[in-house]
Amino acid sequence: MIPIVILAGGGSTRMRGRDKLLEDVDGEPLLRRQARRALAAGHAVFVALPAGDHPRKDALAGLDLTILTVPEAAEGMSGTMRGAVQQLPDCAAFMMLLGDLVGIETTDIQAIFQARKDSPDFLIWRGATTDGKPGHPIVFDGTLRPEFAKLSGDGGGEPLVKPLKSQTHLTRFADDRARLDLDTPEDWDRWRRGVT
C-alpha cells in the first residue's frame, strides 16, 4: 500500500490572520475535505501538522488517518516534507498532496497511482496542468526517500525533483487544479465568485 501524505504544516502567512486550510469549502474545512478525498482513494493517509495543539487537528477529528507532528514545519515547506517523510512506514513509494489544493478530487489521486502502475520505469509521477506544468499530487519512488533528509528552507521539493525531470511522468488534468492553491483572502474571494 502506498501511503498518502497531506502536507498541512504551513503558516498561511498571506491570509492575514485566517487559516486557508480551515476555510469553508462545501460546508467543511478545506483540510478535512482533502483528507476525506484522500481516504476515498483507499490508501493509508497521513497528515503533517505543525507542532503544538493546532486547530487543524480538530478539523480532522473522527477520520481514520494518522497525524504526523512535524516540528520542522516551522522552517517552511522543505522542513515539513523532510519531517513527514522521516516518519512514514517502510513503503515502495509514497504520495504527497498539498493540503490547500482546493480542486483535487479522489479521481485525480487515483489517476496518479494508476500512472505509476502503467509507467513503472520512472521515479516520480505527478499531476500537471492542461499545458503540462507540473503540480500535485506527486508519487515518489521509495528509493528517493533519503533525498528528503537533504531538504531545507521553504523551497519545497524543487531541489529534489528538478534534476529528475527526465524521470518524471506527468498526468495532465483537464484544467489547472494540479497547481490551483488559494493563498490570500482575495484568491479565495475570486474562487468563490468563480473567477480564477
pLDDT given at position 86:
93
Sequence-separated (6 or more) residues with CB below 8 Å from residue 7 = 48, 77, 80, 81, 84, 96, 97, 98, 99
Three cell numbers, residue 77: 515547506
Q: How confident is the model at residue 196 (pLDDT cuts 50, 70, 90)?
A: low
pLDDT reading at 110 higher than 80 = yes
pLDDT given at position 133:
95
pTM of the model: 0.92
* Domains of the chain and CATH, by start: 4-192 (3.90.550.10)
Q: What is the Cα–Cα distance from 188 to 36, expressed in whole angstroms? A: 21
Q: What is the mean pLDDT of the chain?
A: 90
What sign does the dihedral 39-48-102-137 (CA atoms) show? Answer: negative
Q: How confident is the model at residue 192 (pLDDT cuts 50, 70, 90)?
A: confident
